[in-house]
Structure 1
Amino acid sequence: MKKAILISLAIFVFLLVALVSLPFIFKDKIAERIDREISNTINAQVYFDINKISLSIFKRFPHISATVEELGIIGNPPFQNDTLVHMDKLQIDFNLRSILFDEYPTLTGVHLDGGTVYVKVLEDGRANYDITYPSEEETPESNFKMAVDIISINDVAVVYDDRQLKYFMALGNIQAEGKGNFTLNQYDLPIKADALIAEITYEGINYLRNKQFKGETLMHIDMEQMKFSFGKGDFALNDFLFDFGGYIAMPEEGIEFDLSFGGRDNSFKSILSLVPGMYTDSFASLRTSGTMDFSGVFKGLYNETAFPSFDIGLQISEGFFQYPELPRPVSDVNVDIRIQNQTDNLDNTSIQIPVFNLNFGSNPLSGHFTLANLVSYDMDGALKGKLNLEEMTSIFPIEGMTLKGLLDINATAKGRYDSVSQLIPAIDAQLLLANGYVKSKEYPSPIENLNVSATIQNKTGKMNDFLVDLSRFGFDLEDENILGRLRISDFSLLNWDGAIKGAVDLGKLLAIFPMENIIMEGIIRADLFTKGSYKDVEEGRYNRLDTRGNIEVSKFYFTSSDLPQGIRIHDSKADFSPERINLIQFDARVGQSPVQATGYLSNYLNFALKDNEILKGQLSLNSSKFDVNEWMSESSNSEELTVLELPKNIDFSMSVAANEVIYDNMNLKEVKGTMNLKEGVLTFRDAGMRALGGQISLNGTYDPRDLSEPKFDFGLNLANLSIAQAFENLNTVKAFAPIAQHLTGNFNSNLNFSGILGQDMMPVLSSLSAKGLLKVAEAAFQNSQLLQGITSLTRLNDTNTLQFRNVTIPIEIKNGILEVRPFDVRLWDYQANVQGSTGFDGTINYLVNMQVPAGKFGAQANTLLANISGTEANASTLIPVAISLGGNYSNPRISLAGGNSIENLLATALQSRVRNEKENLEQQVTQQFKAAEDSIKKELQLKAEMVQDSVKREAERRVSDTKERVTEEAKNVLKGLIRPKPAKPDTTRKNDN
């Protein structure tokens, strides 16, 4: 017996050890197989760390589980900056028998724990999920066998951004599980899921935001017919329960829907949970009663020409709710809504709301509305009610705020809107707010005498009988008050007559109605009158318009998280006329920089009221000291400098005069000039400044009409600029004239300069074109590796310092290559000729032809002279020395052109003089240099084109990113649930196909 126990125990231990050992034995096989399958199937960047793959037999016995941490997929251009998928932890299960005995493993389960999925479809239909190889390409066939019977998802966020369909969806905290035999053509799939619906928007209309979804159903999948059927299931949005059934199919001609849905075991409280602001921590304690019924169908084909029919209804009866800590309820809520379309044309949608009424405390509100279709817009509606604002604070929790006043609403509308026939519905609407009062605990004084009286009427249904009469609006706040009126008549002509007069203290308003992270104060005084007709604006009859008055702003200050530098306006005054707005006075401080300005705007009425009109104007701006860095620094939380798109409908001229401007590490003095903005192009005229030790003048243009390739074209006049300061502050000088870092002295230049700008507003060096003369009156060149190399090579002992005097250098930049045409100069008192080029990548390629007296080479020259009989050469005989400079400036390659050593060069040169071949020798060396230079230029040009292509792709990405801002804001609704892509993906194992 004891022996049997020991044998059994030994077998158990052996099996246990085998089970523990199996993952280690087959880890490399599984990891290698995963890597190979990724390479064979995914055409994108896949990142994961082979060292973060773990295997276990116990997680889902008898399957073996492989767990990968920090796995992701980054798309190909133009999605190279988007992370399609990032998984915190991915577990995939394999059939153990297939690992042991089959050639290829069988996949049985997928488990995703933490991660994000970001799907993006561009306007042209390109999608970042299109990462499989095209069918026409021959790729290795995948041999993975699929027998998946479980898929589980935990804590995953999904963003779907389809710009072609104008559909956006953001989901967070997704938990889901599905089980089934996914290898069959038809199978049942039980699904359980819940998620936060952060946002769902279609064609600019938001349908759901910040709602919690839960659901459980049985799906039947038919992969042959691409049909997905839903059995009866339980679903919930917040506390709103509903069922959902039918199917979705994908035939070739579109998407086919046959769905029905309806409320389930719901009360009035259920629908309240969907009202924004109601579903809070205190929702559970809300007292409610009343019934609710909801149902609908959605059936038909969806494609470019058809839309499914639908019929959706919502009924609420005897609804009631009351916050437990407040004395008054909302009661007698009765609502009947039906939205219907029995055709495949969305324009035939009708809306019926025959019943709508409720009581806010003792204040009833009732109405009805009918819309026949979305073509002729036949409608019939009414809304009537009286609200005591003081009672509202006893119905809804409004902390720290006291409200008073009576709001009376009585409106009816009936008829058709038809712009061609000049018809609008007959309207009779009145809104009256009397004795309004608002007081915040944050400020001791209230807003009083808040009165609004408005009437909208059109008794006949004709556009010329339309009238909007805002006969009065205004309020008092301590010693300031605002009073105004506005009357608009004739919907086709849009005649207006209005006025506003008074003052308001913005600091007091902000104290009563605080805004997060904003500080604002100051007084605005207005006395404006305006009267006219939009028809006169269209016809340009400005003499019939009458707009006059003025606005004054004093002691104004504004700062926010987006504008931490702050803006302070000491005094500002503008007056108005039909022709123009005149800025008479403007004395301000933007950040720490004082600014004064005067100017005007004209054609402003046309610009405001009509499309494709040009706003014209002029501004004179003065500052004693303007610090640009304050608006660019990281401490200001501002973004990096980027390409600025200029409006094409503004014709604006601005003259600037500043005693001092601080930009980056440069201090600019006496900055002046005129800038003209027209048709989206900024032109500089007579601009100038003292900088870099001298004077800079420029004329030219900045043209960002193509945001992916903004252009500039300048004419520069540089007078007496410091070479050292130019090198220190100008990237272009650093790139094309690195020699300047070892030069002292000043230079002058007339230069025409053009190219494209990168997205950081810096010139793209490979795109530059320039032509002009560089003049150096006097400069010193010393302590350079270049000089040390020439000294070592030529053995001339006077080459460690170089002086330039009255040198004129013709230069030209083309395709990112600085070409220095041959010019004569004295180097170390030797006559020399220099030519060559510098590439945008820092490479140098120069030829220096010098005439050096033979005696300067010492004994070696004398020996050679003595050995050459019959020569008239002597110690003063000029020897042509050709020096080739290559590599880059910090690591130059220096060699002799025409000889591999100074001795050979001297022998060749002396013998050539005897044979009168000195000129032939120089020509030969120059021709060899030119041939080599042409080859180098071709390589640089190809490199320049590649760089510019890369810059343009980056620019297109940046331009696209400007369209991403709405998307990013929507992502933020997830409140941190959307995980950012890794700053630097682990590329220990990376697939770049």
Structure 2
Amino acid sequence: MKKTFIIILTVFAFLLVALIAVPFIFKDKIIERIDKEIAQSVNAQVHYDFNNISLSVFKRFPDVSVTLREFGITGNPPFQNDTLVHVDQLQVDFNLRSVLFADTPSLSGMHLDGGSIYVKVLEDGQANYDITIPSEEVAESESTFEIGVDLIEVNNLNFIYDDRQLDYFMALGNVHLLGKGNFTADVYKMPVEMDALIADVTYEGTNYLRNKSFRGNTNVDVDMENMKFAFSDGEFAVNDFLFDLFGFVALPADDIEFDMEFAGKDNTFKSILSLVPGIYSESFEGIKTSGTMDFNGFFKGIYNDNSFPSFDINLNVADGMFQYPDLPKPVSNINVAMKVVNTTDNLDLTKVDISAFNMNFGSNPISGRLLLENLVTYDIDGNLVGKLNLEELTSIFPIEGMTLKGMLDVNATAKGRYDSVANIIPSIDAKMLLTNGYVKSADYPAPIDKLNVNASILNTSGNMNDFLVNLSNFGFELEDERINGNIRIQDFELLNWDGAIEGTVDVGKMMAIFPIENTIMEGKIIADLKSKGSYKDVEEGRFNRLDTRGEMLVQKFYYTSTDLPQGIRINDAKADFTPERINLTKFDARVGESPLTASGFLSNYMNYFLKDDETLKGQLALQSPKFNVNQWMVESGDSEDSELTVIELPKNIDFTMDVAANEVLYDNLNLKQVKGSMTLREGILSFREASMVTMGGQVVMNGSYDPRDLTAPKFDFNFNVIDLSIAEAFNSLNTVKVLAPVAEHLTGKFSTRFDFAGLLGQDMMPILASLDGNGILRILDAAFKDSPVLKGVTSLTKLNDTNTIQFKNLNLPIDIEDGMLSLRPVDLKLWDYQANVQGSTGFDGSINYLINMQVPAGKFGSQANNLLATISGTEATGSTLIPVSINLGGTYNSPKIGLSGENSIESLLTNALKSRVNSEKENLQSKATEQFKAAEDSIKSELKSRSEALQDSAKKEAEKKVSETKDKAVEEAKSILRGVLGNKSRPVIKPDTVKIDTTKTGTN
């Protein structure tokens, strides 16, 4: 017996050791197959660390499990900055027998624990999930896996679907999913369980669900051959609202076929109440409720571009009531009967019938009904009647820190058809009256008092010209400051109006009562305005028939917010209104740290405010003793890392602005005596005779800034530069540093008339590779010394007077094309030698110049004299001119300097003197020039190709930045998920932040 036990124990130990050893023995084999499968099927960047992979046979014996931690997939352009998938931990199960003995391991299970999926579809339909290699390419190689998955498990997954083509956005958090089934079969049953937080569902700008919990379990009958998915025995819930869903969805071709029924399940009135925004909160469980509800319907038919399924949705609430804990009064007698039905395949023929709707707010009843026959002729029959005591609201709803008083009466009926062609609208009789309104916040000692509103809408005949909106009285009082207004609108087609507003509003006091997060606003707005006219006259441009008169004053106004951290302070402003225009007669302000005064006028303002696609015209004169532009060209006022960003200009504003400023701070420039005229028209800002004193001289410019294409903003300027300091231009202007690096070692002044155009990057700096321009650079008197180029020439030529060059009355013809500055051949004096210089500087800092000089032989010192003494039969003397051709390459600070066609200055002198230079020098330098031009053409061609590639890259980067406006919605959704779930932000997986296995195909 003992022997038998020992044998059994030994066998067990052997098996245990074998099971432990198997993962290590076959780890490389399994990982190699995983790498191979990724390489053959995934067209994206797959990131993981070899050291984060582990294997085990104990997790799902008899399967072997591969566990991968910190796994990520990022797309290829244009999705290279989007993480499609990030997984904290992914476990994949393989059939152990297939691993040991088969050529192709069988995949049997997948388990995801923690991570995020971000699906993004661009406006043109490109999708970041489209990462599979086309099937015809995959077919050429054998698959390395057999798919026999029978279990899929997901835990703690965040999912965002951002479809910009459909304008659809969905964010789900904490997704838990469990699915079982033989996924390789054509027909199988799949039990599915799921729960998640619905953070946001928005379609075409309308939000449908936000911050709702979802859970569900169902059996799905899958028929892959017919692409049919049938639901049965299911139970679903959104918050506390339970419902069944059964039927099928089929995708036989491009159409989608629905046959679905749904119904509420074991619900009470409290269930439907849980869907109301603001009510489903921490105190929801304590809310007292009663009443019954019933919900059911169906969705059946074909969905495609021309057809929409029919549907019938019914909701009934009877004797509903709810009361918040610790509050004395309920909302009671809630009864709703609603039916939304469409028996056709045309969505416009939907009928909405709310045959009953009533509830009591405390002791005040509200009741109504609505019948909307369709969405084409809008035949309507409805009414709403109710009375609300605002003081009772604080006894019904938890409104902390707010006291309300006043009575609100509403009585409205509408019946008839809306037909703009036949000039028919429903007959309407609607009245709203608010009397003795009172609002007091705990944060401010004084109330908004004597708040009264008397409004009515009347049309008894159904004719558009009998339509009347009459806001006969609107007003309130706040600490003895009162504002009153009225407006009367007649004729639905002509829209004749007659209104007025008069009084004072202290916006600081209003903000104390109704605070806005992260916003400070204070000051007084005083108005006395009357307006009378017709929208028909606006459409026809008959502005002389419009009569808007009065004035508006702003005093001690201040505004700052997260989006405007610099702040705006208006000390005193006054605007007079006439039918033709608004005259700004006074404007004394400080924008950020910059004082600013202005005057001018706006015209076409009625058309601009009342019609689409109209242009606001105006003329302004702006003056400032010191204006800091930098403060307005950063994303946030206090961030050291903020960058200049492209400024979009409105296309429907036509302004002419005369500007005068004693000092302007722009980037690292200090501009003095700034004046000129600017015109903003059709989204382009043009400058005319804009002059300034800067960098020791004066600049006058004409030109334009055109950001209509935000991905490729353009500039085109003509500069007249007078006596600018060369040194200051080098230190202040990055373009000079790159294209004219020689300026670093030049002292003196220069003048030029230069045309300059190109593209701006997203940091508002010129894209050097895009620059084009031409002009003449004039240098009256300058010194060039201590340059690495001069030191190189001295070392090469052995000339003893080349460490400094003095320039006088020098005119240099300059061209810039595709970011390459070219100096056309120019004759000048270098030191005391006649020379001809030509060449170019690239946007990458490279230089390529040819210097043809005529140097007297005696200037080369003893080496020339010794040569002259040894050469007989020559007429050469110490004054004989030696042609010296010097090539400058490399970069300015690291130049490569050589003699054209020669190895050393000694051989140059020898050959030149022996060939009686005077007769040969032109031929020698012509040959050097010819060789230089051939090399220069090749360099220019290469730089042009690089320029085009860089501009294309810059445009793609700009397109990415422009799309970041929509990406903010994604980030906000992620913030919501983190805030609601309490999770820390997971790192974004990028290639340079993860250790990638270099021995395997870890990145594809």
Query: What's the TM-score, normalizing by structure 1?
Result: 0.98
Counterpart in the other structure of 1:63: 63
Contact 1:241 1:264 in 2 (8 A): yes
> How far apart are the structure 2 equivalents of 1:547 and 1:909?
90
Q: 1:974 aligns with which of 973, 977, 1002?
A: 977
Contact 1:844 1:888 in 2 (8 A): yes
Secondary structure of the 2:233 match is coil
**Residue deviations 1:239-273, cap 9 Å, x none?**
11111111111021411111111111110001111
Counterpart in the other structure of 2:376: 375
Contact 2:882 2:917 in 1 (8 A): no
Contact 1:872 1:914 in 2 (8 A): no
Counterpart in the other structure of 1:526: 527
Counterpart in the other structure of 1:43: 43
**Residue deviations 1:167-187, cap 9 Å, x none?**
221111111111111111111
Confirm whether residue 73 of structure 1 aligns to residue 80 of structure 2.
no
> How far apart are the structure 1 equivalents of 2:289 and 2:511?
36
Q: Counterparts in 2 of 1:908-919, with a 5 A limit?
A: 908-914=911-917, 916-919=919-922
- 1:833 alignment partner AA: N
Secondary structure of the 1:289 match is strand
> How far apart are the structure 1 equivalents of 2:220 and 2:486?
61
Counterpart in the other structure of 1:360: 361
> How far apart are the structure 1 equivalents of 2:995 and 2:611?
55
Change (3 A) 1:635 1:767: closer
> How far apart are the structure 2 equivalents of 1:95 and 1:420?
71
Percent identical pairs in the alignment equals 65
Residue 962 of structure 1, CA deviation:
3.2
Secondary structure of the 1:898 match is coil
> How far apart are the structure 2 equivalents of 1:143 and 1:819?
58
Contact 2:881 2:918 in 1 (8 A): no
Contact 1:315 1:337 in 2 (8 A): yes
Change (3 A) 1:349 1:973: farther
**406-415 vs 946-955, greater mean Cα deviation:** 946-955
Secondary structure of the 1:116 match is strand
**510-519 vs 237-246, greater mean Cα deviation:** 510-519
Change (3 A) 1:795 1:457: same
**Residue deviations 1:393-422, cap 9 Å, x none?**
000011111000000000000000000000
Counterpart in the other structure of 2:677: 674
May I ask how many residue pairs the two structures share in their alignment? Answer: 993
Q: Counterparts in 2 of 1:358-507, with a 5 A limit?
A: 358-507=359-508
Counterpart in the other structure of 2:730: 727
Counterpart in the other structure of 1:627: 628
Counterpart in the other structure of 1:256: 257
Q: Counterparts in 2 of 1:932-951, with a 5 A limit?
A: 932-951=935-954
Counterpart in the other structure of 1:872: 875
Secondary structure of the 2:887 match is strand
- 1:34 alignment partner AA: I
Q: CA RMSD in A?
A: 1.7
Contact 2:75 2:128 in 1 (8 A): yes
Counterpart in the other structure of 2:306: 305
**Residue deviations 1:954-993, cap 9 Å, x none?**
2222233334444544554434568573465426257776
Residue 715 of structure 1, CA deviation:
0.1
Counterpart in the other structure of 2:898: 895
Secondary structure of the 1:464 match is helix
Confirm whether residue 576 of structure 1 aligns to residue 577 of structure 2.
yes
Q: Which runs of 5+ in 2 are unaligned?
A: none
Residue 574 of structure 1, CA deviation:
0.7
> How far apart are the structure 2 equivalents of 1:261 and 1:46?
41
Confirm whether residue 988 of structure 1 aligns to residue 980 of structure 2.
no
> How far apart are the structure 1 equivalents of 2:197 and 2:534?
50
Confirm whether residue 91 of structure 1 aligns to residue 129 of structure 2.
no
Residue 586 of structure 1, CA deviation:
0.9
**887-896 vs 937-946, greater mean Cα deviation:** 887-896
- 1:21 alignment partner AA: A
**310-319 vs 127-136, greater mean Cα deviation:** 127-136
- 2:155 alignment partner AA: N
Counterpart in the other structure of 2:823: 820
Counterpart in the other structure of 1:25: 25
Secondary structure of the 1:917 match is helix
Residue 801 of structure 1, CA deviation:
2.7
Change (3 A) 1:80 1:470: same
- 1:57 alignment partner AA: V
Contact 1:715 1:751 in 2 (8 A): yes
Residue 491 of structure 1, CA deviation:
0.3
**Residue deviations 1:299-351, cap 9 Å, x none?**
11111000111100100000011112000000000001110001110011000
Counterpart in the other structure of 1:287: 288
Change (3 A) 1:13 1:791: farther
Q: Which runs of 5+ in 1 are unaligned?
A: none
Counterpart in the other structure of 2:661: 658
Counterpart in the other structure of 1:760: 763
Change (3 A) 1:700 1:647: same
Contact 2:520 2:560 in 1 (8 A): yes
> How far apart are the structure 2 equivalents of 1:618 and 1:692?
31
Contact 2:487 2:500 in 1 (8 A): yes
Change (3 A) 1:79 1:148: same
Counterpart in the other structure of 1:955: 958
**Residue deviations 1:889-935, cap 9 Å, x none?**
22221111120111111122223335711110010011010111111
Contact 1:912 1:918 in 2 (8 A): no
> How far apart are the structure 1 equivalents of 2:707 and 2:74?
30
> How far apart are the structure 2 equivalents of 1:511 and 1:226?
60
Residue 532 of structure 1, CA deviation:
0.3
> How far apart are the structure 2 equivalents of 1:276 and 1:177?
29
Secondary structure of the 1:231 match is strand
Counterpart in the other structure of 1:190: 191
Contact 1:380 1:415 in 2 (8 A): yes
Counterpart in the other structure of 2:700: 697
> How far apart are the structure 2 equivalents of 1:565 and 1:714?
30
Counterpart in the other structure of 2:784: 781
> How far apart are the structure 2 equivalents of 1:566 and 1:851?
64
Counterpart in the other structure of 2:853: 850
Contact 1:851 1:878 in 2 (8 A): yes
Confirm whether residue 101 of structure 1 aligns to residue 109 of structure 2.
no
**243-252 vs 409-418, greater mean Cα deviation:** 243-252
Change (3 A) 1:863 1:7: farther
Contact 1:41 1:142 in 2 (8 A): no
- 1:798 alignment partner AA: D
> How far apart are the structure 2 equivalents of 1:583 and 1:166?
42
Secondary structure of the 1:932 match is helix
Counterpart in the other structure of 1:644: 647
> How far apart are the structure 2 equivalents of 1:647 and 1:509?
31
> How far apart are the structure 2 equivalents of 1:136 and 1:687?
62
> How far apart are the structure 1 equivalents of 2:463 and 2:725?
75
Contact 1:756 1:763 in 2 (8 A): yes
Query: What's the TM-score, normalizing by structure 2?
Result: 0.97
Contact 2:441 2:447 in 1 (8 A): yes
Secondary structure of the 1:290 match is strand
> How far apart are the structure 2 equivalents of 1:877 and 1:76?
66
> How far apart are the structure 2 equivalents of 1:337 and 1:820?
81
Residue 91 of structure 1, CA deviation:
1.5
Counterpart in the other structure of 1:348: 349
- 2:367 alignment partner AA: S
- 1:260 alignment partner AA: E
Secondary structure of the 1:724 match is helix
Counterpart in the other structure of 1:563: 564
> How far apart are the structure 1 equivalents of 2:103 and 2:867?
81
